Amino acid sequence: MRTESRLCFGVVMLCTAIVSGCATRAFRAEVSPPDGEPLTAYQTQVSIGECVFKPAPESAALAAIAASLVASTITQGVNYLGKAIEESAKETNDRVTATRNVEVTAKTFGPCVQIIRGWFRRGFQNKDASVKYFNAALEGWAKSAAGSAIDEARLTLLWQQRMWLAAQPDFIFEAQVVTSSDPKSDSGALAFVPVYARLDHPISTPLLRHSKERGVAVFLAFHEVGGDPAAPNAGAGGMVLGVLQPGVDRPFPPHTPNTERTPNRDPNESKWFKIAIGDNKKPMTVTALVTEHQDAQPFLQFIADVFAGAKTPIAESLQKAAVPALRDKAEETAKAAGETALTDYEDALSNALAAAKSCAGGVADPIKVASDARSKVRKLNKAARAAGKREQNETTVPLSMDSKAVQDGCIRLRDVLISAVSS
């Protein structure tokens, strides 16, 4: 009986969704904000700075990161971010992206990176407002944080890194920046290693499947001003977090990079990458991509496809949909294409109107005149489709031996095209 009731309920919900035309997924970003403040927004944000979910690294570890950065030039064999964007475009996946501009030196890079999805305050009118909302969060949702990800101490650290949370996050992830054993050598390299993850609410939930369990993977890329985060020479790394249960902390094992007895590093590390940063502040952008998968099999296939590396070339259109830097370039390209299409349309309209005006004044060879006018209308219609303009009927000018009929058609076409010019 219970099974039948659930089945009937599912059928009713499906029929309701079809009849009403509603989407079959409920997106978390569509829920109401925690308050009515105009500068509160549902976002995914990324930051680099102090570690929130692990003790601060010792000075020797920070010095090793600095040494790796000074010794490095940007070199990266495969950037998994681009491939992940391609694969995550499949309909079995949800994805969100985040970017943040940073200004870093060799001494201020890292030691951790956080990716958070949830409600954020985007800014404050003045310092008093900042203090007001921070204290309200400390005394409110952060203070009563038993069983939640963010308590008062963690909120303070995140707030200092301009991660101005307005409520407990729906997803949070932290990774640590780690170095190779000898960062001062020419082979000095960096990697990410996961520290903590928690998923309270997925990006979206199908109306007929209420499970919040998801397979999650994250991808990070650092790139210079004007650089492409999905390019092979961007410092990048991808990490598989596995299947996350809703509301359950996922602390990862402590990092164990020691290779004295074995050459094998920690299995949770991302692929090595290198970034060139010196003692002066360097403007860079960090881009993050988070993917969520509801079923185990598509998730495993997704991971296999991403890390297969050199299968299919990255589809540029999919990158442009997910990476803001590429999307801006695509929008400019689209504008230029639109302008070209409009110019072609106006030229074709001018030619068709000239032919119509000519034959409206008299027709000596009706077949030749009619064929020429109709040909110019066909060219006009091709340009109109490209420019999103209204097409015209070429049969307005009949293909006839009757000079009077052709001339009358030319007059009608002339009047129609004049109206098109003025519209």
User: 115-165: per-residue pLDDT in tens?
Assistant: 999 999 988 888 898 899 899 888 888 888 778 889 999 999 999 999 999
Predicted confidence band of residue 11 (pLDDT cuts 50, 70, 90): very low
Of 369, 373, 322, 383, give the one whose Cα is nearest residue 352: 373
Task: Answer yes or no: is pLDDT of 311 > 90.
Answer: no
Average pLDDT estimate for 330-337: 68
pLDDT average, residue stretch 346-364: 92
Q: If you average pLDDT over each of 24-28, 74-78, 305-309, 371-375, which comes out highest?
A: 371-375
Please state which of the ranges 198-212, 305-319, 332-346 shows the lowest mean pLDDT: 305-319
Query: What integer pLDDT is reported at residue 159 of this predicted model?
Result: 92
- Stretch 49-76: mean pLDDT, rounded? 67
Question: Residue 351 class from Cβ within 10 Å (0-12 exposed, 13-18 middle, 19+ buried)?
Answer: middle
CA distances from residue 150 to 48, 95, 141, 190 in whole angstroms, order as listed: 17, 23, 9, 28
Give the per-residue pLDDT at 165: 92
Q: Specify the pLDDT at position 224.
A: 76
Asked whether 117 and 169 are in contact (CB, 8 A), the reply is: yes
Q: In sequence order, what are the beta bridge partners of 384?
A: none
pLDDT on residue 247 = 92
Higher pLDDT, 185 or 121: 121
Distance separating alpha carbons of residues 89 and 93, to the nearest angstrom: 7
Please give the pLDDT value at position 332: 64
C-alpha 374: how far from its chain's center? 46
Among the residue ranges 49-53, 55-59, 315-319, the one predicted with the least confidence is 315-319
- Region 26-46 average pLDDT: 82
- pLDDT on residue 20: 36
Per-residue pLDDT averaged across 168-193, rounded? 80
Summarize the confidence of residues 30-38 as an average pLDDT. 75
Q: Looking at per-residue confidence, does 139 or 266 come out higher?
A: 139
Strands 204-206 and 190-199, by their bridges, are: unpaired
Query: If you average pLDDT over residues 282-303, what whole number do you get?
Result: 79
CA atoms within 13 A on the CB side of 182: 5
Edge-first strand order for the sheet with 235-244 is: 93-104, 282-293, 214-224, 235-244
Q: Looking at the predicted structure, is the pLDDT value of residue 331 above 80?
A: no
For residue 10, what pLDDT band results from cuts at 50, 70 and 90?
A: very low
Instruction: Give the pLDDT of residue 375.
Output: 94
Average pLDDT, rounded, for the chain: 78
Q: Which one has a higher pLDDT value, 159 or 36?
A: 159
Q: How confident is the model at residue 183 (pLDDT cuts 50, 70, 90)?
A: low
Q: Look at residue 216 and give its three-state secondary structure.
A: strand
Section 59-80 average pLDDT: 57
Model-wide pTM > 0.75:
no
Confidence (pLDDT) at 87 = 63
